[in-house]
Structure 1
Amino acid sequence: MNTPIDFNIVKQKIEESKLPSVGKASIREVRSLINSIEKASGKKFIRMEMGVPGLPASEIGVNAEIEALKKGVANAYPEIEGITELKREISRFIKLFLDVDVQEKSCIPCTGSTSGSFVTFLTLARADKNKDTVLFLDPGFPVHKMQTKVLGINQTNIDVYKFRGEKLREVLEEKLKAGNISCLLYSNPNNPSWICFTDKELRIIGELCTKYDVIPIEDLAYFNMDFRKDYSKPGKDPHQPSVAKYCDNYMILVSGSKIFSYAGQRIGCIIISDKLFNREYPDLLRFFSSATFGHTMIYGAAYAVSAGVTHSTQYAFAALLKAVNDGELDFVKEVKIYGERAKKMKKMFLNSGFRIVYDHDDGEPIADGFYFTVAYDGYSGEDLIEQLLYYGISAISLSNTGSLRKEGIRACVSLVHDSQLPELEERLKLFHENHKQ
């Protein structure tokens, strides 16, 4: 069979990887395998396995970080709770773009929102001895499930695709009424499906979390990246929908990686509602010195995990947020290229016999964004991942994300440059020619 990448090289590298199943491999394991195939074959892959920014880091952040280093911050430990300038701008950002009020003290920097979720799970799982389980509204980011496994925390999930709108209420309440759920997590827009919860659905989540005393964790790694609406104007409608509008106890994770392409410096933030920040959980005293949730998050969990976020990077993040808050930087405009690229790539897959897995969003066509999902009849997602390696195309299986759609794979558009699109189209056509039934 004629394939763009030498068949024997791919087969050999798969065997050398010792992976029980390429389709079940983690994102980083897939990345490592692709690197070895590229090196051995001399052929470049169309890389769609990792959700990393494909744009240059914002100069505003780079310059602010350089300036901070020149002023000597490198020799001083940063405060665990974060520098004042950053806490101020996080609070402003949440008000201007979500229309939600939160005090500066409730805004905590973290070394990327993935670190933020780790610290959050660590704390919430110990807040109530009767609540030992995290609920994931899937599909979702595989690393979150890895984190709960590493921490020894029980997990359960709901694939929400078939339970949109009012249908979400019944299936969610069935899970929450068991009484063992400490928190639930979802991303909005969703990684990997790119579905976006509506205000109606977020109200349902907020109301049920209040009823059963469960803390919703809203992962906004792709903040304002539902390009079907213009959320780019600070302080003006429309605002991105948020569960914070519908409950008093919540947590929000924001990342600097995608919205500012600042992934390499590992910066994000945790926003805790003011009520939750000041809430007392006596069961926290089993592990920490304080029963106050916010104090424990900062001086118990975050301190133990990272002992502070890189000093200079906090200044970069503060400068970026300030520029956005002041209307000097339109980060949404900067990242719209991902949606434009997704539209082109989806068409290429569809023209070569693939179909979109998560194709609708509560009755509307799915938005074009950072990710999309595809399947090819006759193959499971895990098998498809391995087959595509011979064609120099990499992605991850939806089975790794908690999705029930085992036939699908997740494709990330960020690292596929426009110059590679003709090559992608040719490789997909060849795949279809060799596999069509």
Structure 2
Amino acid sequence: MKNTPIPFEVVKQKIQESKLPSVGKASIRELVKLVNEIEKETGIKYVRMEMGVPGLEPSQIGIDAEIEALKRGVASKYPMIDGVPELKKEIARFVKNFINIDVDEQGCIPTVGSMQGAMAAFLVVNRCNATKDTILFIDPGFPVQKQQLRVLGMNYETFDVYNFRGDKLRDKLESYLKKGNISAILYSNPNNPSWICFTEKELQTIGELATTYDTIVIEDLAYFAMDFRKDLSKPGQSPFQPTVANYTQNWLMLISSSKAFSYAGQRIGTMVISNGLYKRRYPDLKRYFTSDEFGYAMLYGAVYSLSSGVCHSTQYGFAAMLKAANDGTFNFVESVREYGEKARIMKKIFTENGFTIVYDMDEDKPLADGFYFTISYPGLTGEQLIEELLYYGVSAISLAITGSERTEGLRACVSQVQRNQFSDLEVRLKRFNQDHRN
């Protein structure tokens, strides 16, 4: 029997009871369930890095506004499907103030988190042109978006951008687009799970090719303004959140409240559609929707079919936070800077104990410290590494389930790790390194 920080036989038994074909290929939620079971059995708290959920308190601004809305009686009323006017106004202001892009309020549609926004987007972009039925993911990326496409019975292709940064991106991207079947390109920026951030040159490449090949870009901004190398907190002042919207009109954005605003539990985000794309007409949309106008089909076809509106009171809470950010009275970026500080410390603990950072550069610049980072250990695949770390009280997910070709790597999320756990992490990783180094 091995003498590991977490009782070896308990971990082994719980893995067997989980019936997972491979712990290393388990989904995020499956790993959460497994670690919960081990913690319950042993009473030992894990250093949990498997799930990307916020670990900071939300702003009182949003809470107070939501309470006030409930007191006004909004809970008894269905919200308008396109969103309450106060929220639509502040979304448009926010996009101008922090991305420097002008967008009509009409194209600012609240969604039940970015996950609903992605689902709605897939329902429309894959039906604009009967010959274009495939989403292209610039990976690595959020695994559930591919799961959504599988549930919908839709096609997707993917490539890992690790070896195609900078000038190499154009030829790689074009090799897919020239086939003529790509309806949309999807990526997150900053990226989940690697935390890479596309450069302006790369965004320009994506935008120019999207225009050339008449392809829509779905820009997932779940980690808005969380590239902490830049101060993106001042409304109306440079620098702004980088975006492909500077280089094409064929775009829609998914902006989440979950991470940047620590409002994940209230399930609200927004889809922002460019003015040009919103009004554009695609005759093939009439196969599925009552209108061939992109924005109308999105709102009254796709979004409406998924929900009869975003939680009424939550819209007022989110609107209040956005207004405060727009007015310069709420520095939402500063409130989540803790993630970057924790990542810097945790990466150091890992690298001092034999681990390597997998995605470590943005072209020629060191990667930012943020919500996620990626790790590997010599001689172990990602699947092996996940299972081995469970015996040492550390959990993460495999990069393999994110579309990454770096199968030796894991994604580590910093949000649920408390600073008082850093000493446990260091002790456990030292032990792991002692037990595994050659």
TM-score range with shorter-chain normalisation? over 0.9
CA-CA distance at 1:240 after TM superposition: 1.7
Distance 1:304 1:377 in 2: 48
1:301-329 deviation line (CA, Å, top 9, x unaligned): 11111111000000011001000000000
SS in 2 for 1:384: helix
Distance 1:249 1:135 in 2: 15
Matched, 1:249 2:250: yes
Question: For residue 65 of structure 1, what is the aligned residue in structure 2?
Answer: 66
Question: For residue 372 of structure 1, what is the aligned residue in structure 2?
Answer: 373
CA-CA distance at 1:192 after TM superposition: 0.7
CA-CA distance at 1:247 after TM superposition: 0.3
Question: For residue 170 of structure 1, what is the aligned residue in structure 2?
Answer: 171
Task: In structure 1, give the amino acid aligned to 2:243.
Answer: S
Distance 1:3 1:67 in 2: 52
CA-CA distance at 1:354 after TM superposition: 0.5
Question: For residue 317 of structure 2, what is the aligned residue in structure 1?
Answer: 316
Question: For residue 434 of structure 1, what is the aligned residue in structure 2?
Answer: 435
CA-CA distance at 1:123 after TM superposition: 1.1
CA-CA distance at 1:273 after TM superposition: 0.4
CA-CA distance at 1:117 after TM superposition: 0.6
1:157-188 deviation line (CA, Å, top 9, x unaligned): 12111111111101001110100000010000
CA-CA distance at 1:231 after TM superposition: 1.1
Spell out the pairing of 1:195-214 with structure 2 (5 A cutoff).
195-214=196-215
Question: For residue 30 of structure 1, what is the aligned residue in structure 2?
Answer: 31
Task: In structure 2, give the amino acid aligned to 1:268.
Answer: G
SS in 1 for 2:259: helix
Task: In structure 1, give the amino acid aligned to 2:252.
Answer: M
Question: For residue 417 of structure 1, what is the aligned residue in structure 2?
Answer: 418
Distance 1:341 1:305 in 2: 37
Q: CA RMSD in A?
A: 0.7
Question: For residue 345 of structure 1, what is the aligned residue in structure 2?
Answer: 346
1:107-133 deviation line (CA, Å, top 9, x unaligned): 000010111111101111111110010
CA-CA distance at 1:288 after TM superposition: 1.2
Question: For residue 332 of structure 1, what is the aligned residue in structure 2?
Answer: 333
Question: For residue 404 of structure 1, what is the aligned residue in structure 2?
Answer: 405
SS in 2 for 1:259: coil
SS in 2 for 1:127: coil
Matched, 1:298 2:296: no
Percent identity reads: 62
Note the residue ranges of structure 2 that are not aligned, 5 or more in a row.
none
Task: In structure 2, give the amino acid aligned to 1:66.
Answer: I
| TM-score relative to the length of structure 1 | 0.99
1:29-81 deviation line (CA, Å, top 9, x unaligned): 11011111111111111110011111011111111111100100000001110
Distance 2:138 2:62 in 1: 33
Question: For residue 40 of structure 1, what is the aligned residue in structure 2?
Answer: 41
CA-CA distance at 1:295 after TM superposition: 0.7
Distance 1:240 1:314 in 2: 23
Distance 1:76 1:371 in 2: 39
1:322-381 deviation line (CA, Å, top 9, x unaligned): 000000000111111111100100011011100000011111111111000000011111
Spell out the pairing of 1:153-302 with structure 2 (5 A cutoff).
153-302=154-303
SS in 1 for 2:184: strand
Distance 1:6 1:306 in 2: 45
SS in 2 for 1:382: helix
Distance 1:85 1:153 in 2: 35
Note the residue ranges of structure 1 that are not aligned, 5 or more in a row.
none
Distance 1:58 1:114 in 2: 22
CA-CA distance at 1:238 after TM superposition: 1.1
Distance 2:308 2:430 in 1: 51
1:244-264 deviation line (CA, Å, top 9, x unaligned): 000012000000000110000
Distance 2:391 2:71 in 1: 48
Task: In structure 2, give the amino acid aligned to 1:297.
Answer: M
